[in-house]
Chains A and B, each alone.
Chain A
Amino acid sequence: MPVKTIRQALHEALEQEMRRDPRVVVIGEDVSGGAGTEGGRDAAGGVLGVTKGLIKEFGEARVIDTPITESAIMGAASGAAVTGLRPVAELMFSDFLGVCFDQIFNQAAKFRYMFGGKARTPLVIRTMVGAGRSAAAQHSQSPYHIFTSVPGLKVVVPSNAYDAKGLLIQAIRDDDPVVFCEHKLMYDLKAEVPDEAYTIPFGEANVVRDGDDVTIVALSRMVHYAGEAAEKLAAEGIECEIIDPRTTSPLDEDTILESVERTGRLVVVDEATPRCSMATDIAALVADKAFGSLKAPIRRVTAPHTPVPFAPSLEKLYIPDPDRIAAAVRDVHGYAR
């Protein structure tokens, strides 16, 4: 099985779907880039190179560079989706969602409902999330919980290259708007990825590791930190089950609940801020529907309720790490009433 990075997996998903379906178009700032510069067209290929090369095969009509105006990108893409295309729009940094929130939150997400089910909006919004590059407070957030809170949007948070390809193809084939959140520190992360096209259904969590003592639900990059913590804890005799929901909307509640019913203990790990977040949402779900199974309080390991710091030392403290996850697991594991 060939090994590919997340960047390659995403590129392959776009390329294969664009070949399969002429309605699939890519639109955004610098998705090819370079027009009028020395580098020429395709000089950028997306801010992290995911869309590089697409313009050569598919041309300007399907790989559309836009001015720096998120509201126009999302407005154009939403309209194009309703009228028959299947756009993959790039909202470079998810931190910029405020500029185009109306187009996403009040337009694309509502079309199907407002038009009595007669309108479909097959729109994918690719966007970067995550801290860790010292990109400061305006380029480092993980606001997938904001998208998740909007009925009518589907939200994908892949943690590895295999999932990234299968979920992006699923997103492109889906008839509803999907926000696809790529962690900016993971583009070079490798995994085995089939050459063929494949889809992963939404709302199907991935059980990353089996264990009977504590359930860890982790998202995006935190899945890997949870794995590191679980390795350490296994040496101490604590076996963690790690669940990666893969999509936050729809959320695979059953897999989480069934696991907690078995382990009786839950730690949720989320790089986002804690108020009204996925960590809080999943903790509430379990408190509501599996309270009788709980042997210990639920612990959330999250960023603090502050902007992401610029200083590398502070940013390091801000992001949850394997030690904090392990400490939370030990805490719930050793809990006695």
Chain B
Amino acid sequence: MSAAITAITMPKWGLTMTEGKVVQWLKPEGASFAQGEEILEIETSKITNVVEAEADGTLRRIVAPEGATLPIGALLAVLAPEDTPVAQIDEFVAGFVVVERPDDATDASDTVTPRELEVAGRRLRYLELGSGDEVPVLLLHGFGADLNSWMFTQPALSDGRRTIALDLPGHGGSTKDIGSGDADAFVDMVDCALAELGIERVHLVGHSLGGAVAALVAARRPERIASLTLIAPSGLGSEINAAFIDGFVRMARRRDAVEVLNRLVHDPALVSRTMVEDVLRYKRIDGVTTALETIAHAWFAGGRQTRDVRAEITALAAPVQIIWGRDDKIIPVAQAEALASRLPVHILDAAGHLPHMEKAGEVNRLIRRFIES
């Protein structure tokens, strides 16, 4: 059945990715695999990640050899049941058409580029992917990050639904004038952004500081919240790696940045040269250091988390789940374990403070299952 033939294509991870390199096939041609198993490794100019199986299947044909660099959407492999005739696989490969990249589209509304909205005179950048009738998802990044930190998450959630990744004030392409930078200021901005985007009901997904913001937005607008996924959020205890916060605010040179960013992850190999460069490019912009200092002071004064959101979370009627990396060196995983009796808590091995990047497949499945149920 030709309907059972599907393609693995070159994914698009992040705003700037145009092509990727097939580093290694982790399954041989002909192998069967279960959902979640690692199929191949792809390297971009910024990051290396594995592509995991979205469903059980069989790798019938490897089209892209190891070492090949191919554009987004290019055919990498063919999945089909074992009894599918070879001729049908050949036909599928021959007839495969790379979906035209949005960048080449003439209609500007199709392009996957970030947009901006204005809230109380302040500019916020956001990236919207997907459309459909399902309840939209809003993604809120952590301290010092931006919407690109959802590069593996957002595409996986955008099938049949609007997904929006927002740059919080002081971050990414959003305004560097952040006012007080405290919890109320962030919640106000996100709340207004939701109104501006015309979102009535929403699944909130927040990482780290963005997790605490998401929890507080949910507490303010409980009627709007379909679910809340918190990934290594702040606000579940007082302990935090003060040296990281301080180091991130102060770092100006590559050497310092590598040391600071390595603390974010379980495997430092994730922190590529270009990822470090991207963070430094953000940090060099006028006003960023002041914004980060203000935020750090408002949220983490004295090297402790000062805004606790546990009461807000446990009082929520909407379902809440918590995802954490066991090797989190920024906020201790014990803060999640303490809540495990009251909320679903998923602790992922071999992941640090960025489980949504380090264990993207697993986190995507957890979020999808949660918002689809």
Contacts and interface: CB of A to CB of B under 8 A. Distances in A.
A194 B281 contact: yes
Interface string B96-137: 000000000000000000000000000000000000000000
Nearest to B253: A204
Given A207-B273, A210-B273, A197 B253 contact: no
Contact of A197 (B255, B273, B286): B286
A199 interface: yes
A22 B80 CA distance: 68
B284 A204 contact: no
A253 to B, nearest CB: 12
Given A207-B273, A210-B273, A197 B254 contact: no
A259 to B, nearest CB: 12
A204 B253 CA distance: 7
B252 A196 contact: no
A238 B213 CA distance: 48
Given A207-B273, A210-B273, A197 B285 contact: yes
A200 B254 contact: no
Contacts of A201: 252-253
26 contacts: A1-B16, A162-B281, A166-B284, A194-B281, A194-B285, A196-B176, A196-B285, A196-B286, A196-B287, A197-B285, A197-B286, A198-B284, A198-B285, A198-B286, A199-B284, A199-B286, A200-B284, A201-B252, A201-B253, A204-B253, A204-B254, A207-B254, A207-B273, A210-B273, A254-B255, A255-B254
Q: Sort A-B residue pairs by CB-CB distance and give the 4 closest, nearest first.
A: A198-B284, A197-B286, A198-B285, A196-B285
A198 B280 CA distance: 11
Given A1-B16, A197-B286, A198-B286, 12 more contacts: A196-B176, A196-B285, A198-B285, A199-B284, A199-B286, A201-B252, A204-B254, A207-B254, A207-B273, A210-B273, A254-B255, A255-B254
Interface in B1-20: 16
A198 B176 CA distance: 12
Contacts of B284: 166, 198-200
Contact of A198 (B253, B273, B281): B281
Contacts of A254: 255
B260 to A, nearest CB: 15
A162 B228 CA distance: 39
A1 B176 CA distance: 16
A255 B254 CA distance: 10
A301 B286 CA distance: 38
Looking at chain A's contact residues, the main secondary structure is loop
A239 to B, nearest CB: 13
Interface residues of B, number: 12
B305 to A, nearest CB: 30
A198 B282 CA distance: 9
Contacts of A210: 273
B43 to A, nearest CB: 11
Contacts of A1: 16
Contacts of B273: 207, 210
Contacts, number: 27
Interface in B40-65: none
Interface string B283-322: 0111100000000000000000000000000000000000
Interface of A: 1, 162, 166, 194, 196-201, 204, 207, 210, 254-255
A162 B277 CA distance: 12
Looking at chain B's contact residues, the main secondary structure is loop
B28 to A, nearest CB: 25
Nearest to A200: B284
Nearest to A258: B255
B29 to A, nearest CB: 26
A199 B16 CA distance: 22
B74 to A, nearest CB: 20
Contacts of A197: 285-286
Contacts of A196: 176, 285-287
A216 to B, nearest CB: 15
A176 B285 CA distance: 22
A200 B286 CA distance: 11
Give the one of B16, B176, B254 with max A CB within 10 A.
Answer: B254
A166 B254 CA distance: 15
Contacts of B16: 1
Nearest to A208: B273
B280 to A, nearest CB: 9
Nearest to A166: B284
A207 B287 CA distance: 25
Nearest to B276: A207
Nearest to B15: A1
Contacts of A166: 284
A208 to B, nearest CB: 9
B151 to A, nearest CB: 15
Interface string B249-276: 0001111000000000000000001000
A213 B340 CA distance: 50
A197 B255 CA distance: 23
A204 B280 CA distance: 12
A256 to B, nearest CB: 13
Nearest to A209: B273
Nearest to A203: B253
Contacts of A207: 254, 273
A254 B286 CA distance: 27
A166 B286 CA distance: 10
A166 B277 CA distance: 14
A166 to B, nearest CB: 6
Contacts of B255: 254
Nearest to B252: A201
Contacts of A198: 281, 284-286
Contacts of B287: 196
A194 B176 CA distance: 13
B125 to A, nearest CB: 11
A11 B281 CA distance: 20
B290 to A, nearest CB: 13
A16 to B, nearest CB: 9
A197 B287 CA distance: 9
A221 B190 CA distance: 45
Nearest to A194: B285
A243 to B, nearest CB: 11
A196 B288 CA distance: 11
A212 to B, nearest CB: 13
B27 to A, nearest CB: 27
